[in-house]
Amino acid sequence: MTTLLYDGSFDGLFTAVFEVFEYRYKDVEISSRARFHQENIFAEIHEVITQTEKSERVLNKLEQNIGKQGVYKLLKVFLSEDPNLENLILSAVRQSIKHPGENILENFADNNILQISKIGKSVDRERHRMTAFVRFEKMQDGVFFAKIDPDFNVLPLIRKHFNDRYQDQKWMIYDLRRNYGLLYDLESCDFFYPDEKLNFSQYQQKFHDEEKNYQTLWQRYFTKTNIVERKNLKLHVQHVPKRYWKYLTEKW
């Protein structure tokens, strides 16, 4: 068994995939360095150095074989952070090369393809929920700030949604779990990567006065309109799972 170790990036993964074919590895697995735990002391380790040109060659070939939508499905597998994501993607690449022109991602008789489909649906649900439940809070500097903590790394998948809909104000969306975010400054929408995790223990002190008043009014409104006799917690949780309540002002 040969294990290819890469840096955890998208380009790094597809550089590793390229080198699987370049060196004609058969009995092989791919793992990010951060998640790798060597169990077999006799396993051969191949260190992958990320090379964009190699990654692009694989992606271009994939686009020819399975189309842009197919590549997008594999991107969702990568963003799922599934423990087996690298080898699911490698399996799909191998099948696309073996059966060029066929819609290999619809072959659900293959267990790896079935897993790719299931993961994609889960990521899509989380992406949709993030667009529905994100709440912006106005800060003292006029920037509208939102914090998220999704099960999957969906920030790249919701970038276009928010960029298209909120072009008249500056905003930030920060992923608490992965310590990076999106920043829109009225001109461009780019990812940012703080050196340290943002400290939220005192972040409410930076709220704009308008935001504090708004939150108080909204909480009062929700309390007044919440009819106890009609309360259906089971139905409520079905539509708004508890793990998303932390984004909702009325739940604070």
CB contact burial 95-107 (16+ within 10 A = b; e otherwise): bbeeeeeeebbee
Are the CB atoms for 34 and 50 separated by under 8 Å?
no
> Is the model more confident about 49 or about 240?
49
Give the pLDDT of residue 71.
96
CA of 29: how far to CAs of 20, 45, 49, 238, in Å?
9, 10, 16, 39
The band of 211, judged by pLDDT with boundaries at 50, 70 and 90, is very low
* Torsions phi, psi for 83 (to 5 deg): -60, -25
pTM as predicted: 0.81
pLDDT tens sequence across 72-83: 999 999 999 999
The band of 142, judged by pLDDT with boundaries at 50, 70 and 90, is confident
pLDDT tens sequence across 101-126: 899 999 999 999 999 999 999 999 99
Give the pLDDT of residue 34.
92
In 40-168, alpha helices (H): 52-80, 85-98, 111-133, 155-165
Residue the block writes with tokens 């267990």: 111
Q: Would you say residue 233 has pLDDT above 60?
A: no
Give the pLDDT of residue 133.
85
CA of 167: how far to CAs of 1, 3, 163, 164, in Å?
51, 45, 6, 6
Q: Would you say residue 205 has pLDDT above 70?
A: no
> Is the model more confident about 242 or about 235?
242
pLDDT tens sequence across 144-191: 888 899 999 999 999 999 999 999 999 989 998 999 999 999 999 999
Q: How far apart are CA 175 and CA 143, in angstroms?
A: 16
| Mean pLDDT estimate for the chain | 84
Sign of CA dihedral 142, 143, 144, 147: negative
CA of 163: how far to CAs of 123, 169, 242, in Å?
20, 10, 27
Q: What is the mean pLDDT of residues 194-198?
A: 79
Q: How far apart are CA 167 and CA 186, in angstroms?
A: 6
Q: How far apart are CA 58 and CA 248, in angstroms?
A: 42
pLDDT tens sequence across 50-90: 999 999 999 999 999 999 999 999 999 999 999 999 999 99
The band of 202, judged by pLDDT with boundaries at 50, 70 and 90, is low
